Structure 1
């Protein structure tokens, strides 16, 4: 059964921030250190620091020839079965490597250092090992990463359990890496999600990848960046037996020269990891260019359902959007239905603004618990409206206040949200309400001009417009997760120029 079914959350995957795992099976989804290094939200940055500190320790241990210390570092890397992610159980193509095998994998670094110092220095990150070390693939890196960031996943799981009313139990934790002390540690007593005696870790859906959609792989690097470079290089070799010529065009004595990737692959055995390492150490700029490409995109709704082996057609997607609109219209305004509205808006915003906003928390205390916020999201955007905000205004977090008033909101509601802002975390908030008048936009404009604080007024009308913008049509067959954001740009421009 899925988490949503076990705890009767009455929410589907698109309304949840975490992967709705099935405890009876594994989903073929993975974590990669490279993804964290490419993101700039606080949670990802912390995970990146943890992973880099561990690999720095591994690198240092190998550099100093301390094998016994390496064994101790690896001894805490155990099978992380808490996430139910990885190779599916019915397909034994790979599984978590035992501690002994992991030690053997890391021991290869000693041999590389002894053989060639420059090649050893080329292996800079944990994810680099997928390219250069035999026996290391996506599943191995994902499991190591899970072990390292376990504490962050425990904290995230607790947040999501609190958000969705899921009970937790205090237990001793499994080991996690502390990047401050640079060692493995445990929490003696910390709330954890326990189901039938088994620890469960929830994982944010915006950081996992499917091998069908992720391009940070050795195969991709070899096929495109490496072989294309070698093709150009081979064309400069006089009388190379690999050079062929196309059929001459008019006024040509000889056709254009070319070299096939197949001929280079067969001659140089480029797919062998040792040869990829030799190439990268000799031409580091090629690998650096490859790393800087955009390899990761959060899975959209249809892709998530496909991985979970649930059918989800274009019609299903449009019907989902219509269902959101219908439900929004059906919730009466007024204090009596405030909780229904609040819960619905939480799921709706999580869906609409995925993957730009994630890690929602409900009623977050701030300023030493003197103030509370209805919902707080982490700004995890790497493109679009919320990404652009980061360069203009403090917006590491997005604060949300929900007001299910039958009357139009007025100054006190704006003051309540504006009172949450501060320079270190965020000066951006959303006031989600049923309707407003023009004076509300003037109020938001005044706040923006005086203090550079952005109050986004999100009405029923705006939410319905955004949902309609996200619909698929015959000339728009791909789910565009940012199609609706033009409404936010328009809203921001209105607030910037509104007279008051």
Structure 2
């Protein structure tokens, strides 16, 4: 059952600002920091400022060779099962960041020149340049850092839809940009079957397919080498029947060393404009999920129902709350 069913909201995904999760299993969606960075509304701006605050502080510690403190800072980036997002099979548990994963990723980061050279500017760049980091782990890292923002968002959504919260629940660690420390607090949280649940805005999640090392290599790095070989008229250049020259990506792959993330970092240091182009164009490719991706509900049927339901609500103060909730849902459908 989805959250909307559990708490009797009688709302479709089209009418809800948050991802209508199924607490018993993970949805294959991911918090996308790159997507968040390009959004211009208060929650997104505040969340990304917190991400940047953490990441820049981590890099400062590493560059100042305060390794022990940096490692401790990194150790809090475990998996956040409260979101019910990611790649877990069955009950949300874990293909994301466990304690061992955090240790291994930190070790990989220490072996990489990406942070020393200033190549890594944003937390999403972990996925491009640091071995053993992909969308699931970046999503978990993001969730931990901005957890306080997401808890406050959950509290607001629960107030809006009259979903009961449990008082005095331990929040789990979150990053406080003011103190530059991991903190924990007791607060009001959404709890179902003794499981804490944190809601996530639909705008914050994607399938995270575009901002990846594979896309960077196959669609930007290889394109760079195609143009280079054409300009140099190298031995990899072939000709079509109309004498048009071309170079296949397959031939370039054979000509290059087998790429890994360290190789990508080295390439990027030598050709930074290629990475700049990748970052600039990725936002056009990386799209937030649509309601149709999250639900099998038929939009035509939903709109017809909403029109009929709106017309059926009696006038008067007694029914004002029902009318307000109906209008909120309709506005969400219209403007998402």
Q: Structure 1 length normalisation: TM-score?
A: 0.63
Task: Report the Cα offset of residue 234 of structure 1.
Answer: 1.3
Q: Report the Cα distance in structure 2 between the residues aligned to 1:166 and 1:90, rounded to whole angstroms.
A: 25
Q: 1:336 to 1:46 in 2, by over 3 A?
A: closer
Partner residue, 2:238: 244
Deviation at 1:91, TM superposition (A): 11
* CA distance in 1 between partners of 2:29 and 2:157 (Å): 20
Q: Note the residue ranges of structure 2 that are not aligned, 5 or more in a row.
A: none
Distance in structure 1 (CA, Å) of the matches to 2:319 and 2:112: 65
In structure 2, the residue matched to 1:176 is 174
Q: Distance in 2 between matches of 1:336 and 1:199?
A: 33
1:292 aligns with 2:280: yes
| Counterpart Cα distance in 1 of 2:222 and 2:35 | 24
Give the one of 219, 222, 228 matched to 1:227. 222
**Which blocks of at least 5 consecutive residues in structure 1 are unaligned?**
250-254, 306-310, 355-500
Asked if 1:130 corresponds to 2:127, the answer is yes
Find the counterpart in structure 2 of residue 317 from structure 1: 299
Q: Within 1, Cα distance between the matches of 2:112 and 2:68?
A: 18
SS of the residue 1:177 aligns to: strand
Q: Is the 8 A contact 2:62 2:70 kept in 1?
A: yes
Give the whole-Å Cα distance in 2 for the aligned partners of 1:54 and 1:117.
Answer: 14
Per residue, is there more helix in 1 or in 2? 2
| Residue 281 (structure 1) aligned with residue 279 (structure 2) | no
Q: CA deviation at 1:269?
A: 4.0
- Contact 1:70/1:103 (8 A) holds in 2: no
**Cα distance in structure 2, aligned partners of 1:101 and 1:329:** 54
Distance 2:261 2:147 in 1: 30
Structure 1 residue 80: deviation in Å? 0.7
CA apart distance, 1:298: 2.5
TM-superposition CA deviations, 1:88-110 (whole Å, max 9, x none):
41599x81132232222123233
Q: Distance in 1 between matches of 2:197 and 2:228?
A: 51
CA–CA separation in structure 2 for the residues paired with 1:190 and 1:54: 22
How far apart are 1:53 and its partner, in Å?
A: 1.2
Report 1 or 2 for greater relative contact order, CA contacts < 8 Å, sequence distance ≥ 6. Answer: 2
The aligned length equals 332
Task: Specify the alignment match of 2:70 in structure 1.
Answer: 70
Which residue of structure 1 lines up, in the alignment, with residue 48 of structure 2? 48
Structure 1 position 199 matched with structure 2 position 196: yes
DSSP-derived class of the 2:196 partner: strand
Moved over 3 A (4+): 332-337
What is the CA-CA distance between 1:20 and the residue it aligns to?
A: 1.1
Aligned counterpart, 1:396: none
Answer yes or no: is the 8 Å Cα contact 2:112–2:130 preserved in 1: no
Q: What SS does the aligned partner of 1:121 have?
A: coil
Corresponding residue number in structure 2 for 1:349: 331
Q: Secondary structure at the match of 1:352?
A: helix
Cα distance, 1:348 vs structure 2:
1.1
Q: 1:156 and 1:205, CA in 2 relative to 1: closer, same or farther beyond 3 A?
A: same
Shift of the 117–67 alpha-carbon distance from structure 1 to 2, 3 Å rule, reads closer
Match of 1:257 in 2: 245
Over the aligned positions, Cα root-mean-square deviation in angstroms equals 2.1
Report the Cα distance in structure 1 between the residues aligned to 2:215 and 2:75, rounded to whole angstroms. Answer: 32
Partner Cα separation in structure 2 for residue 303 and residue 319 of structure 1: 17
> Helix, strand or coil for the counterpart of 2:232?
coil
Q: How far apart, CA to CA, are the structure 1 residues paired with 2:205 and 2:225?
A: 33
Equivalent residue number for residue 410 of structure 1:
none
**Distance of 1:217 and 1:207 partners within structure 2:** 17
What is the TM-score with the length of structure 2 in the denominator?
Answer: 0.92
1:25 aligned onto 2:25: yes
Aligned-pair distance for 1:287? Answer: 1.0
Find the residue that maps to 1:128 and give its secondary structure.
helix
d(CA) in 2 for partners of 1:117, 1:50: 19
Q: Alpha-carbon deviations, 1:131-181, whole Å to 9, x = none? A: 111100000000010000110111011111111111112222211001111
Match of 1:156 among 149, 153, 156: 153
d(CA) in 2 for partners of 1:77, 1:327? 45
CA distance in 2, matches of 1:168, 1:176: 19
> Helix, strand or coil for the counterpart of 2:31?
coil
